[in-house]
Structure 1
Amino acid sequence: MKNIFKKAAAVGITLSVITISCKKSALDTVNPNAQTTETFWKTSDDAVKGINAVYGSLIIDGSYMRFTPVVQNTRGDDCVSNSPWDQIYNMGKFNMASSGDGVLFSWTAYYQGILRANEVLQYVPAITMDDALKTRVLGQAYFLRGLFYFHLADFYKNVPMPLTPAESSADYFAKQVPQDQVWQQVISDFTKAKDMLPISYTSLNSVDNQIGRATKGAAMAYLGKTYLFIKDYTNASTQFKAVIDQGTYSLMPNYYDNFFLNAENNQESVFEVQFSRDAGGTDLGWGGDPSSGWGRTSARAVTFGAASFGFGDVQPSTALYNEFLQEKTTAGAVDPRLDVTMYYNKPGEKLYGVSFATAYAGSSSLNALWCHKYENGDTGQTNEYDWRSGINERLMRYADVLLMYAECLNELGNTTQAYSYIQQVRSRVGLPDLATTKPGMSQAQMRDQLAHERFLEFGLEGHRFDDIRRWGWLQDATKLAMLKARDPEFNSYVPGREYLPIPLTEIQTNANVTQNTTY
C-alpha cells in the first residue's frame, strides 16, 4: 500500500488537469504534453493510477495528514486544546468562523477525493482490461467516495453532492442536499463496494495487491457504521455480524500494537490510512495539486505532540484520565490502555527518551497530560519537530466493530447478548467479566456502560464526539451538564454548533449553498 502513494502524486497532477472536457472550437489547440480525459483513460495501468490518486486524497492536510484528526478529536470530552492557533483552539470550543482555514481544509480535501473517485467511476468502465481488476478498482472508488461523503455529512451536515465529473461550467455549482440524502448515497456507495471488493488482496497476483487497500470487510464495517449513525440498528447489526462472521479479523493481544509503527496493518485493522517516511520526497502534502517533493508522512504526531517535543495543540482531558482509574484489572492494576493513550507524570515515565519529571521540572506542564497514541516517542526519535511521522492512522478497528455490534444488540432489546462482545474488548486488557460485576443491566444502564467502554477503548481516536452527538447527549440537559462539568469547552456549545460552518468561500461562490444555522 505504501507503493500506492509513491505513484499517487504524479497521477494526481494528471487528474487535476483532466477534470473538465469541453467542446473544442476551431481555435482550440491540443497541448501534446498535457493529458486529457480522451488521452489518459486507456489502459488498466491508467485505471490503477487513477484509483491510487483517490487514495492520495487521504494523506493531505485537510484529510488524515493533520486536520481530520484535529476536527474529530478536539470536539470530544476526551481531548482539550490550548493551542496558540485559533483554528485548533476554537475547534473544540464550537467557535469556528466560516472564514477560517480550519473549516476549509477538510472540505477541500474531501471534495478533491470525490472528484478523483468520480473520474474513476466515469471513465474506467469503458477501458478494455481484466474484468476482475476493473471490478476491484471500481469497488475501491465507491468505498473511498462513500468515505469522503461520510466525513462531509458528519462534519458539515447538508452538502453539495456531485456524483459525476463536471462537464461544463454550470456543473461547478452543485446543489446542496439534506444530510439524510447524503447518508443514503453513502449507504449506496458502501453497498456497491462490499459486493465488488475482495476479502483480501494478498493472494492476488495483480498490479493492485498491496496491503492497505479497501476490502469487503472495510466496506461492510463502514456500511454498518453509517446505518448506526441514522439509527437503523437492524441493518447496522447485519453488517457488523457479517464482518465478525467473516473470520478475517481478531483483536491484537496487546492493545499497544494498534497505534505505532511496530504492527501496522495487523489482524485488528479493518481499514487504515498508510503513511511512510520512506515513500516519496520530504515535503509535507499540504493539499492542492501534488508536488514531486511531497512525502507520504503524517503531521499528526507533531500537532498532538507533548510540549517541548511537539506543538501540544491537542491534549487528553482530565475526564479521560480519571475514567481510566474507575476500574482495576483482575490483577489489581490500572487499565493498561491509560499508559498507551497518554503520557503523564508517573514514576519512570519518559517522552522521547527524556524523563517526564526532568523535562517539565518547575513547569506547569509537570501536571499536564499529553498524547501518547500515534506519537513517535517510543521509536528512538528525540522530538517530533521534523513534522514527518510514518505511523498509519487506524480508521476502523475490529474492536469498534465489536462494540458497535453490542450497541445494536442493546438497542434491539438483546441486552444480554451484548455482554459477550463487550467482554472481548475488556478481556484484552485484563478487566473483569462484566456479566459478573454488573449482571442484568437494563437497556438504559447498558447504554451508559457502552459509553464508558467506548470512551476508554477509543480515547484520542476521533470517535467520541460522533458518539456524543448520535446518542443525543447535546439535547439531553442532564448529559450536557455532565459534559460541561467534565470538559469546560462544552460551556460554549449552542445548538447547531455540533456541525462546522460551511466554508465562506463556498457560500460566496456557490449560490446553491446556504450556511448552517447559528453561523
Structure 2
Amino acid sequence: MKKIRIILFSCLFVCATFSACDSFLEVPNKTLIAQDDYFQTDGDLLKMLSTSYSNLQDVRIYANYYWKQRGLLTNDVFTIETDADLAGNYRFDFLLSSGELQGLWSSHYKGIRRANMVIREVPEVVEDAELVARVKAEAKALRALFYFQLIQQWDFIPLRTTENMDEFAVPQVDIDAIYDFVITDLQEIIDANALPAAYDGSVNNERGRLSIWFAKGLLGKIYLFKNEMDKAAPLFKDIIDNGGFQLTPSTEDIWNVNNRFSNENIFEVLYDRDVGGGNFWFDDGVESSEGTQRNIWLEAMGDIGGYQNLRPTDEFISTFEENDFRLKAFIRQKGDTIYYRNPRVVGGEPEEMLSDREDPVIAKGHTSEPLNAIGNNESFPIMRLADIYLMYAETQVGKNEVDAKKYIDMVRDRAFYNPWRDEILPHPSTQNLMDGGKTLLQIIQSERRKELCFEGHRYNDLRRWGMLNTLVDYNTGKPRFIDGRDYYPVPQKEIDKSGGVIMQSPNYTL
C-alpha cells in the first residue's frame, strides 16, 4: 500500500458543499486523520477529496470573503463602514496586512494542497480503478477552480503542484503560466471524458460533485478571459446543446432553498444549517453550522433586510427596466414584502412583514427559509446556465449575432416573467435595444451586471473589458480606481514567512 506522506491532516468536510442526505455527498465529521496508510477503501478516497471541496464553503471564500471583497471593487455596491478591510478595499487602498486578503490567499491554497494530496497519493491498488480515475479528475477540476479564482485576485502567485507541494516556499509565476497549467488539466479531463455528465445519487456518486460540464464551462471561461473566443464558443455551445440544463422559470427561484440541484446550476456550493456547531470562524464548518457562515452575514443577526455592510448603489438600481423582476428578487427596498419567521421565536410560524429599511439592501442570497439563528440552507451557484448563455453570446459578437440575441433574449424573458400571472411581461427584445442605439456587447455587459450581481463576477468582467476607469466613489463621485491596482497586493505575511522567496507585486513596492 502506498503510504501517505502527510501524517496530520484536517478532514473536516462535514458534507462540505453538500447537505447531510443519502442522495448527495455525505462525510462524517472528523477533525484529525493520523494514519500512515490512510487510503485503504474507496470511501477513504472520497473523504480525502471532500476536504478540498470543503474549502469552497469556507467563510474566507464563498461564505463571505470572496463575493464580498469582489463586490467592493465594483460600481454595484458601496460601503458605509470605516473598517480598513471594507472602506480601504473599496477605495483600492489595500492593506498589506489585510486579514481578509490573507484569508482569501491561504484558504484557496489550502484547497489546492488538499487537491494535490488526492492527485499524488491515491494508490493504484484500490480495487475500483474507474473510481480512482474519477476522483483524480475531480481533484484536478477543483484545483483548476481554486487557481482560476486566485489569478482573478493576484497576478503573480506560486504554482503549487504535486511535485513541489511539500516545499516550504515556492516562487511565483505569472498569470499565463497558471492559465497554461489549468488549461492542460481541464483539457485532459475533457479528452478522457474523465468526469460523468451527471451523478445518480448512489453511493460514491452523490449529487453535487463536479461534472464534465463544469470542466468544459471553466475551460470556456478561461478562453473567454484570454479573449480566445473561437476556443471558448464550442465549449459553451456543447453545454447549451447537450448538457440538459434549463433556466429556472422564475427569477425568485434562482437563490431559493428548494432549488438545490436546479437544472440551471452546473455547480453550486451548498450550506446546511444542521451540520456543525456554533463557531462560524472555524475554517471548514465542523465547529460551525455551515449555514451560519452564510446566514450571519446575510441576516445581520435578526435585522429585517439583507447584507448590511454592502449597499446597492442608486446608479445600479436605476439600470433595471420596468417589469424586471430581478430588481425585487436581488435587492430589497423599503416597503417590499418579506415572509419571515419572528427571529425571537425559533420554530415560530412565518410572518409577513414589510421591509422598513430606509436604504436598499442586498436580498440575493438572503434566506428564503424562515429565519432562525442557526443558519441558512441555501446554495451559492458558482456556475449556472444564464452565465453560460451570456458568455456564449459574447463569443458571437461580430459573428453569429442571431444566435447571440437568441440566448440574451432567453435570459431577459426569464427576468420579465411574472410567476403570479404565469406570463412574460412586455419588454424590449435585444433587437429592439440595438435598434435604439445600443451595441450587442453593451447589452451583454448590462445583462451580465444585472443577472449575475453580487455573485463575484462583476469586477472580473470590468477588468477584462477595460472598464475599471468607470468606477467612482459613491460618496464623492470622484474616480476610485488607482492605476496598477487591478490586482490585490501579496499579503505581507506570505512574504515574511517565505523568507523572501515570495515577493510583492511591483505595483505595491515603494
Report if TM-score (shorter chain) is over 0.5: yes
User: Would the alpha carbon gap of residues 517 and 308 (structure 1) be closer, same or farther in structure 2, given more than 3 Å must change?
Assistant: farther
Bigger fraction of residues in helix: 1
Tell me, in whole angstroms, the C-alpha distance in 2 between the residues paired with 1:13 and 1:319: 49
Residue of structure 1 in register with 2:194 after alignment:
196
Residue of structure 1 in register with 2:80 after alignment:
82
Residue of structure 1 in register with 2:175 after alignment:
179
Let me know the Cα RMSD of the aligned residues. Answer: 2.6
1:460 aligns with 2:454: yes
Residue of structure 2 in register with 1:408 after alignment:
395
1:390 aligns with 2:410: no
Tell me, in whole angstroms, the C-alpha distance in 1 between the residues paired with 2:148 and 2:232: 15
Contact 2:332–2:360 (Cα < 8 Å) also in 1: yes
Taking the TM superposition and a 5 Å limit, the aligned residue runs for 1:34-433 are 34-36=34-36, 39-164=37-162, 171-194=167-190, 195-202=193-200, 205=202, 207-284=203-280, 286-287=282-283, 292-305=286-299, 308-309=303-304, 312-324=308-320, 327-328=321-322, 334-346=323-335, 348=337, 353=351, 355-356=353-354, 359-360=356-357, 366=358, 368-376=359-367, 378-381=368-371, 386=373, 388-410=375-397, 413-430=399-416, 432=427
One-letter code aligned to 2:409: Q
One-letter code aligned to 1:394: P
Describe the superposition over 1:246-279 as per-residue Cα deviations: whole angstroms up to 9, x where unpaired: 1420101111111121211101001000111122
Q: Indicate the percent of aligned positions where both proteins have the same amino acid.
A: 26
Residue of structure 2 in register with 1:434 after alignment:
429
| TM-score normalised according to structure 1 size | 0.83
One-letter code aligned to 1:140: E
Match of 1:503 among 486, 491, 494: 491
Residue of structure 1 in register with 2:348 after alignment:
none
Residue of structure 1 in register with 2:32 after alignment:
13
Tell me, in whole angstroms, the C-alpha distance in 1 between the residues paired with 2:307 and 2:394: 36
Tell me, in whole angstroms, the C-alpha distance in 2 between the residues paired with 1:314 and 1:300: 15
Residue of structure 2 in register with 1:27 after alignment:
none
Residue of structure 1 in register with 2:9 after alignment:
none
Describe the superposition over 1:132-162 as per-residue Cα deviations: whole angstroms up to 9, x where unpaired: 2112211110110000001111111110011
Contact 2:39–2:123 (Cα < 8 Å) also in 1: no
Describe the superposition over 1:278-326 as per-residue Cα deviations: whole angstroms up to 9, x where unpaired: 2233432532xx68534322533432446934661122221221101xx
Match of 1:516 among 491, 505, 510: 505
Contact 1:183–1:226 (Cα < 8 Å) also in 2: yes
Query: What is the CA-CA distance between 1:490 and the residue it aligns to?
Result: 7.2
Tell me, in whole angstroms, the C-alpha distance in 2 between the residues paired with 1:61 and 1:165: 29
User: Would the alpha carbon gap of residues 486 and 441 (structure 1) be closer, same or farther in structure 2, given more than 3 Å must change?
Assistant: farther
Instruction: Please give the secondary structure, in 1, of the residue aligned with 2:396.
Output: helix
Tell me, in whole angstroms, the C-alpha distance in 2 between the residues paired with 1:467 and 1:5: 32
Query: What is the CA-CA distance between 1:425 and the residue it aligns to?
Result: 0.5
Residue of structure 2 in register with 1:29 after alignment:
none
Taking the TM superposition and a 5 Å limit, the aligned residue runs for 1:16-35 are 34-35=34-35
One-letter code aligned to 2:228: D
Deviates more, 1:291-300 or 1:265-274: 291-300
Tell me, in whole angstroms, the C-alpha distance in 2 between the residues paired with 1:68 and 1:5: 24
User: Would the alpha carbon gap of residues 454 and 226 (structure 1) be closer, same or farther in structure 2, given more than 3 Å must change?
Assistant: same
Contact 1:61–1:109 (Cα < 8 Å) also in 2: no
Query: What is the CA-CA distance between 1:77 and the residue it aligns to?
Result: 1.2
User: Would the alpha carbon gap of residues 314 and 199 (structure 1) be closer, same or farther in structure 2, given more than 3 Å must change?
Assistant: same
Instruction: Please give the secondary structure, in 1, of the residue aligned with 2:381.
Output: strand
User: Would the alpha carbon gap of residues 99 and 497 (structure 1) be closer, same or farther in structure 2, given more than 3 Å must change?
Assistant: same
Tell me, in whole angstroms, the C-alpha distance in 1 between the residues paired with 2:273 and 2:460: 31
Tell me, in whole angstroms, the C-alpha distance in 2 between the residues paired with 1:517 and 1:72: 22
Describe the superposition over 1:52-73 as per-residue Cα deviations: whole angstroms up to 9, x where unpaired: 1111111112121211121222
Contact 1:304–1:312 (Cα < 8 Å) also in 2: yes
Tell me, in whole angstroms, the C-alpha distance in 2 between the residues paired with 1:209 and 1:96: 43
Contact 1:496–1:516 (Cα < 8 Å) also in 2: no
One-letter code aligned to 2:40: K
Contact 1:260–1:375 (Cα < 8 Å) also in 2: no
Tell me, in whole angstroms, the C-alpha distance in 2 between the residues paired with 1:66 and 1:434: 36
One-letter code aligned to 1:54: S
Instruction: Please give the secondary structure, in 2, of the residue aligned with 1:126.
Output: coil
Describe the superposition over 1:22-41 as per-residue Cα deviations: whole angstroms up to 9, x where unpaired: xxxxxxxxxxxx323xx112
One-letter code aligned to 1:103: L
Instruction: Please give the secondary structure, in 2, of the residue aligned with 1:57.
Output: helix
Contact 1:66–1:298 (Cα < 8 Å) also in 2: no
Contact 1:304–1:313 (Cα < 8 Å) also in 2: no
| TM-score normalised according to structure 2 size | 0.84
Query: What is the CA-CA distance between 1:128 and the residue it aligns to?
Result: 2.0
Count of residue correspondences? 465
Contact 1:416–1:440 (Cα < 8 Å) also in 2: no
User: Would the alpha carbon gap of residues 239 and 438 (structure 1) be closer, same or farther in structure 2, given more than 3 Å must change?
Assistant: same
Instruction: Please give the secondary structure, in 1, of the residue aligned with 2:97.
Output: coil
Tell me, in whole angstroms, the C-alpha distance in 2 between the residues paired with 1:190 and 1:91: 33
Describe the superposition over 1:76-124 as per-residue Cα deviations: whole angstroms up to 9, x where unpaired: 2112222353212322221220111011011111110000000000011
In structure 2, stretches of 5+ residues that fail to align are 1-17, 342-350, 417-425
In structure 1, stretches of 5+ residues that fail to align are 15-33, 329-333, 361-365, 475-479
